[in-house]
Amino acid sequence: MSSNCLFCKIAAGDIPAEKLYEDDDMLAFRDIAPQAPVHFLVIPKKHIQDPAAISAEDEALMGKMMRVGSQVAGENGITDFRLVFNNGADAGQTVFHIHMHVLGGRSLSWPPG
């Protein structure tokens, strides 16, 4: 746990979130500012700053994020969805605890702006 990290605090239960899935090492919760009818985040409870900071020992955890995100998408009624990781401020990252956005429930344009 990183002491000043918003998502570590959500993972620890110190800040409330609308949880969709939780187990020992992972959490999915609704984004507070949804950009699509279904928009939630999947985070590992372990503090990893961003995709660039993923180490070899985290590979299974990262694969699990994709499986859990896709599974929770299905449980929330969407079969077509986008999985997004932002790495760094210029890419749109605002919270520096790795998270995967899951977006769906409307038609999504490509490429992103």
Give the binding range for ligand AMP (CB under 6 A) out of 19-27, 29-37, 65-73, 103-111.
29-37
73 sits near ligand AMP (criterion: CB under 6 A): no
- Comparing CB distances to ligand AMP, the nearer of 49 and 93 is 93
Burial string for 12-40 (b: 16+ CB within 10 Å, else e) reads eeeeebeebeeeeebbbbebeeeebebbb
- Shortest spacing between CB 6 and ligand AMP, in angstroms: 6
By CB under 6 A, name the binding residues for ligand AMP: 6, 17, 31-33, 41, 86, 92-95
